[in-house]
């Protein structure tokens, strides 16, 4: 297996990342943090994953929010 010491998201799937963010913030706060339709209108993990996989700019924002979040609070 390739070692990626400079990639803090290595080994974390988009689904796990999104599920942790939703559990931490909830859909309402996610929609305020990152204003995208899949978080603000009938949000679900499935629809959000589909959108994020098709739109790299949105995925980049979600990944950055994940990195900036302190889940120990």
Specify the pTM: 0.86
Which whole-number Å values give the CA distances from 17 to 12, 53, in the listed order? 7, 13
For 55-65, the pLDDT digits (tens) are: 999 999 999 99
Across residues 5-33, what is the average pLDDT?
Answer: 93
Residue 38, C-beta contacts closer than 8 angstroms, at least 6 positions apart: 47, 48, 50, 51, 52
User: Domain 24-68 is classified in which CATH homologous superfamily?
Assistant: SAP domain (1.10.720.30)
Q: Residue 39 — very low, low, confident or very high, per pLDDT cuts 50/70/90? A: very high
Across residues 34-41, what is the average pLDDT?
Answer: 94
- What are the extents of the domains in the chain? 24-68
């Amino acid at each position: 297996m390739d070692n990626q010491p400079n990639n803090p998201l290595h080994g974390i799937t988009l689904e796990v990342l999104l599920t942790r963010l939703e559990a931490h913030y909830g859909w309402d706060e996610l929609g305020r943090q990152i204003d995208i339709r899949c978080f603000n209108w009938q949000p679900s993990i499935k629809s959000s994953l589909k959108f994020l996989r098709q739109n790299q700019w949105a995925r980049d924002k979600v990944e950055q929010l994940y990195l900036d979040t302190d889940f120990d609070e």
